[in-house]
Chains A and B, each alone.
Chain A
């Protein structure tokens, strides 16, 4: 399978614990995005990387959130001291930025439940 993959698919944690999610983009894609989706809403942008550089972070990304993309390949999203409001689907997307146009390809998501 050559699509975007995410791990784990589901995560249940207790409030106050730290969690880390992984995203493996399509191999030749240079841009990687993280989005968050809550029930009844569309995905909301969190942050994106051009190769290994993190170029933009949304105001939704509090200090408890950190994302990395070492060597411009896979990416991790860590949430420290989780809160119940962090419960959501976390989506990763990738694209090959060649010029105009931006069809982003999404992974299946990681569903986080904070108890």
Chain B
């Protein structure tokens, strides 16, 4: 079963506008969430994370929002830049139950047009 799901395979936005990437999860034991960015032929690069005790975490242009009741998180990128074009993966971990291994979504291809 797909415990972490990213329903949008692709997203296209204009440079300078906001990019919003969404992620849903089903396992209530997840208590730590991360976003990774991946360029072709490279490994995933860590972007930002959030623990379940928070509902928002911000780092520069990147903000992650967590809605625990809806089991939903989102990544906002403002303003979007062409260099942000990549595949974005949402990942989740359960500290107590899963050795902190990460469960990933399928990814969303973000394209930022100049």
Contacts and interface: CB of A to CB of B under 8 A. Distances in A.
A108 B42 contact: yes
Most buried by B among A44, A48, A103: A103
Interface residues of A, number: 28
Contacts, number: 66
A41 B106 contact: yes
Interface residues of B, number: 26
Contacts of B89: 42-43
A108 B51 contact: no
Contacts of A95: 100
Nearest to A89: B43
Interface string B91-103: 1010100111111
B32 A101 contact: yes
Contact of A43 (B44, B45, B95): B44
Given A102-B93, A103-B34, A42 B104 contact: yes
A101 B106 contact: no
20 contacts: A31-B100, A33-B102, A41-B107, A42-B89, A42-B104, A43-B104, A45-B102, A45-B103, A56-B101, A93-B102, A100-B51, A102-B32, A102-B34, A102-B95, A103-B49, A104-B46, A106-B45, A106-B46, A108-B43, A109-B43
Interface of A: 4, 6, 31, 33, 35, 40-45, 48, 55-56, 91, 93, 95, 97, 100-109
